[in-house]
Structure 1
Amino acid sequence: MVRAECLTLLLYMTILCGEDAETKTTTSNTNGSGKHHNPEDSGSPQVTRSNAKCNKDPSLECFHQNSDPDMFKNKTALQNFNRQEMEIIHEMINKTSTNETKIWKLPRVDLAVVKINLTTTDGFTPITASELFNDTQAAQILIPGEAFQNISEKGHRVVVVSYNSDEQFRFGLGNARIVSKVTRIEVSGQDIKNLIHPLRIHFPVNMTTNNSNNYSCQFFNETGFIWSDNGCSTTNNSDNVLECSCNHMTPFAVLLVKLQNIDKEHWIIMSYISYIGCGLSAVFSGCSILIFIINSNGRKEVSRSIHVSLSAALFLLNITFMLSEWAATINQEGVCVFVAVAIHYSLLCCFTWMGIEALHLYLLLVRVFNIYIKHYMAKLSLIGWGLPAILIGVLFTVHSSIPLYGTGNIALLGANKTNKICWNTDASIPNAVNISYFSLIFLFNTGILINVSIKIFMQGRAGKSKTVNVCKNVTTVLGLMCLLGSTWGLVFYTSGYTNYPILYLFCILNSMQGFYIFLWMCLTARTGKQQADNNSTLTVDITDHYKQNS
């Protein structure tokens, strides 16, 4: 659900391949702007160049040259790379005099240790990285004096790292992309967080007029390797500058996030409908499972066993769906990946059991004769739970090299906000699996439903009361549509554009599918009892035949 405080600021780190190093050292006591003179001037820094021999050289340049680009695709290797890189950067900082501003310009990163003067009148000390690094795309930074409370004057130093590529931090980025320089900001030797007056960064950004995207400042959580917007916000200062404010210090950048073509107000309403519907569906799915366990006679009926298996898959889907946003807020990527995988597995299980419902209906009402299959329910269970597990196993194998599951951001039209959920970070492959898998099942189920519906209405004409028969026929067909998941086909009517009536129907009908299956099971159980004492209509005969011949 969209939270009102969800404005975004993105922290980021990156590294670019390079060869020669250029080191620029400035000895001065600056006011934080980092301005320096021409090397020919008296007292100005001396520029040195060198071709590093990296066999035994522990320098940052050599560390970058010796790195393998393939490691950026592996989370563990990438974590080790970042840790070792920061260890080298901190060693460089520790060797710098506490009374000087020092600048390194390397092929992959620009690094500066800036001596801060706190005599500013507005409480913020400016650092102009574009002047420090002679780079017009570098950010302007405003450091709050609050960050230096309880720190001695020797510790009044700020570390600024401007990365020249975002390759290293595309891990888990999903459909979003970085549109600014990635900038790391730290107070030397301190962990700065929970600032009352937030750090402000002005990022130069080449903005577009594409209404389907939203510019978002976020930070990179280096512990969980996830993107987060906690404590951060975004302000559009001008056409080409975004101001990012954050109450802590880490790597920052601006992301271009894909907007959902749904207005904020409609999204909130549909979120409430979905959560209430999923809650009811989970409760009644649980009741269906409990009644099935208690009722020994019900366990003998294959049709009821299939209904309960579908209810179990829906129960798992509803529970994991409701945990999706909570898991995204705890900043534990492993938990979020688990929830995302569980949602995807339960969704595929639901589709599979809907297909099994159609197969069983075909055998009972279309084929009718010679339908005995040894260990029938065991084989159906193996398909219903095993086939989705195989598909998820293959996708999870791909996940180790191309992150498919984790924390994702959703931006809404007219909201300038994002919402974090645990789902697909790279939606292309999972979506291809979902759409192709569901399309096959939907086509099969629709064919069975049409065939069975024709039989029901044709046989219903023989009844005495046509009005009663029509009502019962329609009720039976609607119940079968629920079992076969026909309402999920509404998703095809929203492709390419936003159709709010269809979206509302989709939310109402599909979020409460577990409740509808519970009602169907209760009605068929009652019909079965009445059948023992009275002559039923042909529609009831069909329903009873579906139950008793299993």
Structure 2
Amino acid sequence: MTCTLRRRMFGFYRFMVNSTEEARVNTTIEHSVQIPSSALKKSRGNSTDEDVLLLTTVISSSFFKNITSRNLRRKRSQPLSKQPVKIKGTVLRDQVLVVKAGNTPVKNLTEPIRLIFNRKQTVGNGTCVFWQDPESGNKTGRWSTEGCETSSTANEFHCRCNHLSFFAVLVNPNISIDKKDAKSLEYITYVGSAVSALFLFISLFIYIGLHRRRPEKAIRMHIQLSVALLCLHLGFLFCSFWLLLLKEVEVGWVCKSLGLFLHWSLLATFTWIALEGFHLYLLLVRVFNIYVQRYLLKLSVVGWGLPTLAVAACGICGVYGKSSLVIRDSQNNTSTSQICWLSSDFPQRHIVSYSTVAFLCLVILCNSCMLGLVVFKLWRIRVGQGGYESSSDWKKMTKEAGPRIWKDCVTVLGLSCVLGLPWGLASTTYVSTLGIYIFTIFNSLQGLFTFLWALALSCKSRTDGNSSVKDPSSQKMMTTSFNN
């Protein structure tokens, strides 16, 4: 830093710097700026003096009012390329870094200005922005990313911008929960995963017994899904307790391997859930044309092959390692837990995380449509069975209506678990702490729900074997179609 004078007045830092050299300024412990000489020369304008006045400070983001929805509606008549884009997020620590030099506006630089924001605690993904002055007809400005690029490490956000302005980092806020709730959720997750792993192991024996009596394709698919879920819960327990029990300081190959295994089992679970929905589509839509040569072999290649290719590519890039999870409560206190997952030191880990979430959202959307189709089919069946010829038939149908409704509800709930719809409860975690509890309980007990579904199929199989002639109705076809 070529600084000849430093004076602080009301939080403002003033420097006289030489425009022929790069200026480096540490405004605060949490902010630093690097300004190339080309930017300083441009700020001089027509002046021949090599010294330039550089001013930096950190002010509160409350002085900046973002563009309102009313302003956005006024802009609807403009071309899409000229409409302001609203960027979601909150200003990091509510602090805005101000950087000004000389008397001439500095913009469209070929050599960018570098700004570093210390993140200290773990926050969500961040985006470097600057405050764009109000346009004509608007009373408020907006945060914009134009001319700024963002990169990040475990401890810092790095911004590269081609102008001088008011800079900030917009981040996605962490979920604020109490430490008691965090501890309770941790216990629920560990106990639920252990219970699920136990019941999934039992479910495998039930499915194998069913397959021996009825060698059907759907049962073999249930076996594959149960194996993927068992790997997922066991992988989560191992990844959670490896760093906790062994107190590993350095990230070794074991932690990286566990993180890879956890990601692989998660992707395999999502893939087999999608294949369950695809199989249900063939049964309900293409009922008379579902023969595919080597059907199960092709499904297995997709169900296990795609996750393997994905984690292999991520492993080569070095994505996996020790991940630090920070929970911040309402009093701004933090607690940290570690797990072998996507490494916190890998800058592009958010890309892997977002792609996994996008894949899950696509699977849930498709399977929700399949479940809606099942409900529609059940409703059509009930309407078709509503006719009666005598009062005795009417009384019989009335008595059977209640049990049939319960059977239909159980069928729909069972299919919901098999199709992975409880994963959709992840959206409730952004609403309240209650949503986090609901999501945690349902997804940590997936193994128990799978066991109940396998048990129901086993009982249904025995019942069908004893009374297959007594109940030739459409309901039987509907309640057992997914299994046949």
CA distance in 1, matches of 2:181, 2:419: 28
Find the counterpart in structure 2 of residue 508 from structure 1: 441
CA distance in 1, matches of 2:155, 2:310: 35
CA distance in 1, matches of 2:222, 2:354: 27
SS state at 2:339 partner: strand
SS state at 1:377 partner: helix
Find the counterpart in structure 2 of residue 68 from structure 1: none
Q: 1:208 to 1:513 in 2, by over 3 A?
A: closer
Q: Deviations over 1:111-144 (max 9, x none)?
A: xxxxxxxxxxxxxxxxxxxxxxxx9989xxxxxx
Report how far residue 350 of structure 1 moved: 0.7
CA distance in 2, matches of 1:331, 1:489: 35
Q: 1:380 to 1:298 in 2, by over 3 A?
A: farther
Report how far residue 344 of structure 1 moved: 0.9
Whichever residue aligns with residue 511 of structure 1, its letter is: S
CA distance in 2, matches of 1:254, 1:362: 47
List aligned pairs for 1:159-198, cutoff 5 A: none
Find the counterpart in structure 2 of residue 542 from structure 1: 478
2:350 counterpart of 1:428: yes
2:226 counterpart of 1:311: yes
2:284 counterpart of 1:349: no
Find the counterpart in structure 1 of residue 81 from structure 2: none
CA distance in 1, matches of 2:475, 2:248: 52
CA distance in 2, matches of 1:307, 1:472: 21
CA distance in 2, matches of 1:279, 1:365: 35
Find the counterpart in structure 2 of residue 396 from structure 1: 315
SS state at 2:176 partner: strand
Q: 1:511 to 1:539 in 2, by over 3 A?
A: farther
With structure 2 as the length reference, what TM-score do the two structures score?
0.58
Mark the runs of 5 or more structure 2 residues left unpaired by the alignment.
2-25, 35-91, 96-117, 123-153, 158-170, 387-396
SS state at 1:367 partner: coil
Whichever residue aligns with residue 180 of structure 2, its letter is: E
List aligned pairs for 1:364-379, cutoff 5 A: 364-379=283-298
Q: Do 1:282 and 1:315's aligned partners in 2 also have CA atoms closer than 8 Å?
A: yes
Q: Deviations over 1:270-323 (max 9, x none)?
A: 111111111111001111223444666157221111111111111111011112
CA distance in 2, matches of 1:410, 1:341: 21
CA distance in 2, matches of 1:293, 1:260: 42
Find the counterpart in structure 2 of residue 527 from structure 1: 460
List aligned pairs for 1:43-58, cutoff 5 A: none
2:197 aligned residue (263, 268, 282):
282
SS state at 1:411 partner: strand
SS state at 1:372 partner: coil
Q: Do 1:348 and 1:388's aligned partners in 2 also have CA atoms closer than 8 Å?
A: yes
CA distance in 2, matches of 1:440, 1:254: 33
Q: Do 1:262 and 1:498's aligned partners in 2 also have CA atoms closer than 8 Å?
A: no
Q: Do 2:206 and 2:454's aligned partners in 1 also have CA atoms closer than 8 Å?
A: no
Report how far residue 261 of structure 1 moved: 2.8
CA distance in 2, matches of 1:308, 1:295: 10
Report how far residue 331 of structure 1 moved: 2.7
2:293 counterpart of 1:361: no
2:337 counterpart of 1:419: yes
List aligned pairs for 1:441-456, cutoff 5 A: 441-456=363-378
CA distance in 2, matches of 1:493, 1:137: 38
Q: Which structure would you say has the larger RCO, counting Cα contacts within 8 Å and 6 or more residues apart? A: 1
2:426 aligned residue (469, 491, 504):
491
Find the counterpart in structure 2 of residue 103 from structure 1: none
Q: Do 1:527 and 1:540's aligned partners in 2 also have CA atoms closer than 8 Å?
A: no
Whichever residue aligns with residue 441 of structure 1, its letter is: V
CA distance in 2, matches of 1:485, 1:432: 19
CA distance in 2, matches of 1:404, 1:318: 18
Q: Do 1:260 and 1:410's aligned partners in 2 also have CA atoms closer than 8 Å?
A: no
Find the counterpart in structure 2 of residue 335 from structure 1: 254
Whichever residue aligns with residue 295 of structure 2, its letter is: Y
Q: Deviations over 1:36-63 (max 9, x none)?
A: xxxxxxxxxxxxxxxxxxxxxxxxxxxx
CA distance in 2, matches of 1:470, 1:438: 31
Q: Do 2:328 and 2:335's aligned partners in 1 also have CA atoms closer than 8 Å?
A: yes
With structure 1 as the length reference, what TM-score do the two structures score?
0.51
1:518 aligned residue (447, 451, 470):
451
Find the counterpart in structure 1 of residue 302 from structure 2: 383
List aligned pairs for 1:255-270, cutoff 5 A: 259-270=174-185
CA distance in 2, matches of 1:292, 1:514: 13
Q: Do 2:273 and 2:420's aligned partners in 1 also have CA atoms closer than 8 Å?
A: yes
Report how far residue 539 of structure 1 moved: 3.6
Q: Do 1:449 and 1:481's aligned partners in 2 also have CA atoms closer than 8 Å?
A: yes
SS state at 2:291 partner: coil
CA distance in 2, matches of 1:298, 1:412: 53
Higher helix fraction (1 or 2): 2
Q: Do 2:177 and 2:327's aligned partners in 1 also have CA atoms closer than 8 Å?
A: no
Q: Deviations over 1:71-96 (max 9, x none)?
A: xxxxxxxxxxxxxxxxxxxxxxxxxx
Find the counterpart in structure 1 of residue 323 from structure 2: 407
List aligned pairs for 1:235-250, cutoff 5 A: none
2:362 counterpart of 1:440: yes
Report how far residue 498 of structure 1 moved: 4.2
CA distance in 2, matches of 1:283, 1:336: 24
Whichever residue aligns with residue 340 of structure 1, its letter is: G
Q: Do 1:411 and 1:417's aligned partners in 2 also have CA atoms closer than 8 Å?
A: yes
Report how far residue 366 of structure 1 moved: 2.4
Report how far residue 411 of structure 1 moved: 3.4
Q: Do 2:206 and 2:455's aligned partners in 1 also have CA atoms closer than 8 Å?
A: no
Q: Deviations over 1:320-377 (max 9, x none)?
A: 1112232233235222211111111111111111111111111122211121112111
CA distance in 2, matches of 1:363, 1:254: 50
CA distance in 2, matches of 1:254, 1:521: 47
Q: Deviations over 1:416-466 (max 9, x none)?
A: 332122222243111221122112211111111111111023213427311
Whichever residue aligns with residue 425 of structure 2, its letter is: L
Q: Deviations over 1:191-248 (max 9, x none)?
A: xxxxxxxxxxxxxxxx9468xx98569xxxxxxxxxxxxxxxxxxxxxxxxxxxxxxx
Q: CA RMSD for the aligned pairs?
A: 3.5
Report how far residue 473 of structure 1 moved: 0.4
CA distance in 2, matches of 1:508, 1:275: 11
Q: 1:216 to 1:500 in 2, by over 3 A?
A: closer
Q: Do 1:460 and 1:473's aligned partners in 2 also have CA atoms closer than 8 Å?
A: no
Report how far residue 479 of structure 1 moved: 0.3
Report how far residue 505 of structure 1 moved: 1.3
Report how far residue 406 of structure 1 moved: 2.8
CA distance in 1, matches of 2:428, 2:175: 16
SS state at 1:417 partner: strand
Q: 1:473 to 1:295 in 2, by over 3 A?
A: closer
Sequence identity (%): 31
Q: Do 1:298 and 1:304's aligned partners in 2 also have CA atoms closer than 8 Å?
A: no
Moved more, 410-419 or 483-492: 410-419
How many positions carry a matched residue from both structures? 312
CA distance in 2, matches of 1:309, 1:136: 57
